[in-house]
Amino acid sequence: MERHFDEQLSGLKALLMKMSALAELMITDSLRVLVNRDAATAAAVAHHEEQVNALQIEVDELCFTLIATHQPVAGDLRFLLGAVKTNNELERLADLAVNVCEKGCALLNYPPVKPFVIIPEMATIASGMVKDSLHAYVNRDTTLARSVLARDDGLDERKIRITNELAEHIRHFPETTTAALELILVARNLERIGDHATNIAENSIFVVQGKDIRHNIEIRERA
């Protein structure tokens, strides 16, 4: 029975990693739509979203089955409960990647506002946070989880910086207002992807240490 549980748990981890890989690909493809003005790539983003949604259902069902049939305790129970939360975080951040893609498609109707620098940086950071947060979760690696938490501030800082730059751009070039506002929303979506990755990293620490650090900065810094 224990061996069967371990095999199913390994299968669950593989499903979560697959969701993460798809979400990372969605972020990359969404940025390609935006930066390269590549409308054709939007179809791939939509296809991957369907895959993520299907995996979300599969992961939830497997988690609930494992809890009901094996009645795990302690760390294994925390892992399964955290997996349900992590599953939801992945689906939500994939939705945010879709939002970025949709903004990129909308911006095809306008000339470029300015060269892309900060937004690609944000996408790279966010994608790395997603990847590492999932590795931290499935491997119960709190050191890697803490590194994800540390990167969130850099993402927030870049979101503020690009928002301020675009606001100033609008002041000087009001005819670019619509396009600039769309780019501000892109930055906001990328920042929120980082927030979901942070939540997954916090789940990792909860699984290993049994500490809920979501609203306690002092504990979060010591974790």
Residues 154-175 have pLDDT tens digits of 999 999 999 999 999 999 999 9
pLDDT at 6 over 90: no
Is there a contact between 36 and 107 (Cβ–Cβ < 8 Å)? no
pLDDT at 212 over 80: no
Q: C-alpha dihedral over 93, 94, 100, 106, to 10 degrees?
A: -140
Range of the domain at 79: 2-222
pLDDT at 216 over 80: no
What is the rounded distance in angstroms from the CA atom of residue 203 to the CA atom of residue 191? Answer: 19
Structure tokens at 130: 């997603």
Q: What single-letter amino acid sits at 194? A: G
pLDDT band with cut points at 50, 70 and 90 for residue 220: very low
Q: Give the CATH number for residue 216.
A: 1.20.58.220
DSSP annotation of 38 reads: -
Q: pTM for this structure?
A: 0.91
At residue 124, the pLDDT reads 97
Average pLDDT over residues 117-136: 97
Q: What is the mean pLDDT of the chain?
A: 93
Is there a contact between 169 and 114 (Cβ–Cβ < 8 Å)? yes
Is there a contact between 65 and 74 (Cβ–Cβ < 8 Å)? no
pLDDT at 223 over 70: no
C-alpha angle 143-144-149 in degrees, rounded to nearest 5: 95
Structure tokens at 170: 């609008």
Is there a contact between 15 and 134 (Cβ–Cβ < 8 Å)? no
What is the rounded distance in angstroms from the CA atom of residue 203 to the CA atom of residue 133? Answer: 9
Quickly list H helices, the chain. Answer: 2-35, 42-70, 74-106, 118-139, 142-172, 177-209, 217-222
pLDDT at 2 over 80: no
What are the pLDDT digits (tens) for 198-211?
A: 999 999 999 988 77
What are the pLDDT digits (tens) for 47-91?
A: 999 999 999 999 999 999 999 998 888 888 999 999 999 999 999
In the chain, the number of structural domains is 1
pLDDT at 222 over 60: no
Range of weakest confidence among 64-78, 80-94, 107-121, 182-196: 64-78
At residue 37, the pLDDT reads 96
Q: C-alpha dihedral over 35, 39, 44, 46, to 10 degrees?
A: 100
